[in-house]
């Protein structure tokens, strides 16, 4: 019981009035910070070492897991990470076309380059890196908890228990056991480290440690480049600084803004860079093309409210979303907004009444719970891996409950800690076993959510990977029935039917729902593609035009129709369509291939064709396309050198 007894022996000194240079009144009910200087002995590493052993042992079985879920898209089938020459493209606009990411996450992509360099993306190697990252993230959570100013002196064991609560929570299995989801552990590791370093740098109000602040800011920038949800951290840091600082409200507010201002600045620069430089969101390109400095400055001022809205309601910055919808007011956003208002009122009540030990974790749960107000309703966000950052708030609450219990009943506090962590460990091991096999995972999803078409589709994909074509067709049919004939599920079902040799049934299915409305133009484009493969070019043109009627910027339909026109030797029409695609995306490899062929074959523009094939080789991650572009470029160079 030494770890609780020690806190009891120092109960009086805990309220002596000083903690890292932060002064409290003797009767101030706020919990006091953990004195990081109190223990300079070798025992300071006992808690981190135990955390490493516990978390490592808990996730050790994942080393024998195979790949699952998003692992195939971002790692296994991603040719971009296989060539070191692509490293320079991470910091260019080519990143989005080649990496498979919709958001700008270069640190995450660098980790996948490391996977391939070390072990050629073997399952056990990738899972080993994930386990190491999760251990590091848990240690970062421990470091943060030791610097938050929440626990009494000599409470390192309680901080370690709270960190273990975060690291062992079963919701973390999806993050720690899936290489495709390691962005969550990266943003947690770097974000918690940044937060802890900045708090430690300013723990002494009179002598801040600038070197620690710089390290913290560098970690925060890396967190932003791991996952855009890090944009929400500055406001949580500001609130934490405000509550820990001494003095009157104005002085505390100034200090909070001063400390967190660099984080707000860097996150805003990331936001603007993502919007303007790397891959502009729909509606912004026209402003940039105007070129007037005053117009750009006015636009920056207009997006400031959007940025601050994102710090409370962060979403992925995806190009297919309309700029105006980023802070939309859909029903799921209203649900989230209502819950936030209720919690803010509750927080205000706790704060006024001096119940700050209750108020504090609620702050972090609210401001660190990233909820997309565009695609994810609140309850789904709670159930998925968005626990990663918000979980630190629950860990704080757990640690503070143990502190309160240890004041009078240290044995009970020890028992509760052990019981809670044991239950979490059992639940995590069970969840880890489920994640060990993709068919078992999605079968469990179907069992728990029998009305979720997503579960059936993913189980069908798992069956398809195991060559169970009959089972795949049955599951795809169920998904279509449950979802009410959504376009994506109809498209998948038609491809399964075609793969099973039922092309006529697939065409009939698509034909019933092909319409230029909603997302159903994809079905028209699929019918057109099938007709092209059958050399029924007139039918293909009809369906491609029907798809473009509903969505004129449908890239796949534009490229498909261009290829049909090329087969019919209507090269000018094909060139016009390719130019239209390249006006939207100058690095679209299929459009570059069409234009390069026409320039070479029909226009005899060898230099223009050479440029197109060079760009095609640079922009594509398809090995066959890359080889074709290289061969054609070499052929043209030979002709030019004659």
> What's the longest Cα–Cα distance across the chain?
92
Give the residue carrying structure tokens 């993306």: 121
Per-domain boundaries in the chain: 2-29+39-434, 444-503, 514-581, 586-642
The CA distance from 551 to 192, in Å, is 43
Low-confidence ranges of the chain (pLDDT < 50): 1-42, 152, 282-291, 313-333, 371-385
pLDDT at residue number 443: 86
pLDDT at residue number 429: 92
Residue 33 near residue 48 (C-beta atoms within 8 A): no
pTM for the structure as a whole: 0.77
pLDDT at residue number 321: 33
Beta bridge partners of 22: 19
Give the residue carrying structure tokens 């297919």: 320
Residue 374 near residue 144 (C-beta atoms within 8 A): no
Q: Which of 264, 370, 366, 364 is nearest to 317 (CA)?
A: 370
pLDDT at residue number 287: 43
The CA distance from 429 to 467, in Å, is 29
In the CATH scheme, what is the code of domain 514-581?
1.25.40.10
Burial class, 537, CB count within 10 angstroms (exposed 0-12 / middle 13-18 / buried 19+): middle
The predicted-structure confidence for 323-333, as pLDDT tens digits, reads as follows 333 333 344 44
Provide the residue count of the chain: 642
Q: Which of 121, 116, 122, 125 is nearest to 86 (CA)?
A: 116
| Contacts with 548 (C-beta within 8 Å, 6 or more apart), sequence order | 521, 554, 557, 558, 561
pLDDT at residue number 326: 34
The predicted-structure confidence for 31-71, as pLDDT tens digits, reads as follows 433 333 444 444 678 889 999 999 999 999 999 988 887 78
């Amino acid at each position: 019981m030494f770890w609780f007894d020690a806190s009891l022996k120092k109960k009086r000194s805990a309220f002596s009035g000083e903690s890292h240079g932060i002064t409290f009144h003797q009767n101030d009910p706020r919990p006091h910070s953990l004195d990081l200087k109190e223990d300079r002995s070798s025992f300071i590493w006992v808690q981190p070492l135990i955390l490493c052993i516990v978390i490592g042992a808990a996730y050790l079985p994942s080393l024998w897991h195979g790949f699952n879920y998003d692992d195939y898209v971002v790692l296994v089938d991603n040719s971009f990470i296989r060539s070191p020459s692509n490293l320079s493209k991470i910091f260019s606009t080519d990143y989005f076309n080649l990496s498979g990411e919709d958001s700008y996450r270069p640190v995450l992509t660098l980790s996948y380059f490391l996977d391939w360099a070390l072990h050629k993306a073997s399952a056990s190697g990738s899972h080993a890196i994930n386990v190491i990252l999760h251990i590091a993230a848990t240690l970062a959570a421990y470091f943060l908890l030791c610097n938050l100013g929440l626990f009494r002196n000599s409470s390192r064991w309680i901080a370690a228990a709270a960190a273990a609560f975060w690291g062992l929570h079963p919701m973390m299995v999806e993050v720690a056991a899936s290489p495709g989801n390691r962005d969550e552990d990266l943003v947690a590791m770097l974000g918690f480290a940044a937060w802890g370093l900045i708090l430690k740098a300013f723990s002494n109000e009179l002598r801040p440690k600038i070197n620690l602040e710089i390290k913290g800011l560098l970690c925060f920038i890396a967190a932003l480049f791991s996952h855009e949800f890090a944009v929400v951290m500055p406001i949580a840091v500001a609130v934490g600084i405000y509550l820990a600082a001494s003095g009157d409200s104005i002085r505390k507010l100034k200090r909070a803004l001063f400390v967190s201002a660099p984080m707000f600045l860097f996150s805003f620069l990331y936001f603007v860079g993502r919007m303007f430089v790397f891959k502009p969101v729909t509606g912004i390109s026209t402003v940039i093309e105007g070129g007037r400095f005053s117009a750009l400055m006015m636009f920056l001022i207009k997006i400031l409210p959007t940025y601050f809205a994102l710090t409370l309601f962060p979403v992925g910055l995806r190009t297919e979303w309309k700029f105006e919808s980023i802070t939309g007011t859909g029903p799921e956003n209203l649900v989230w907004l209502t819950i936030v208002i209720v919690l803010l009122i509750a927080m205000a009540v706790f704060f006024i009444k001096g119940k700050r030990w209750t108020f504090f974790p609620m702050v972090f749960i609210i401001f660190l719970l990233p909820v997309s107000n565009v695609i994810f309703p609140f309850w789904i966000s709670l159930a998925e891996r968005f626990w990663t950052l918000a979980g630190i708030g629950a860990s704080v609450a757990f640690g503070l409950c143990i502190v309160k219990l240890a004041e009078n009943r240290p044995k009970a506090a020890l028992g509760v800690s052990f019981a809670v962590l044991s239950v979490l460990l059992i639940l995590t091991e069970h969840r880890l076993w489920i994640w060990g096999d993709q068919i078992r995972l999605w079968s469990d999803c179907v069992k728990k959510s029998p009305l979720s078409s997503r579960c059936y589709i993913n189980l069908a994909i798992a069956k398809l990977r195991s060559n169970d074509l009959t089972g795949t067709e049955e599951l795809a049919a169920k998904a279509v029935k449950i979802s009410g004939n959504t376009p994506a599920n109809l498209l998948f079902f038609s491809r399964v039917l075609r793969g099973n040799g039922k092309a006529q049934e697939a065409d009939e299915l698509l034909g019933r729902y092909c319409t230029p409305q909603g997302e159903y133009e994809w079905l028209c484009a699929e019918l057109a593609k099938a007709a092209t493969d059958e050399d029924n070019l007139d039918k293909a043109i009809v369906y491609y035009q029907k798809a473009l009627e509903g969505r004129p910027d449908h890239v796949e339909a534009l490229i498909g129709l261009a290829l049909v026109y090329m087969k019919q030797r209507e090269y000018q029409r094909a060139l016009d369509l390719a130019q239209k695609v390249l006006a939207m995306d100058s690095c679209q490899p299929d459009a570059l291939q069409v234009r390069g062929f026409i320039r070479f074959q029909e226009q005899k523009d060898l230099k223009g064709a050479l440029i197109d094939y060079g760009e095609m080789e640079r922009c594509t991650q398809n090995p066959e396309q890359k080889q074709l572009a290289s061969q054609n470029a070499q052929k043209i160079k030979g002709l030019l050198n004659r």
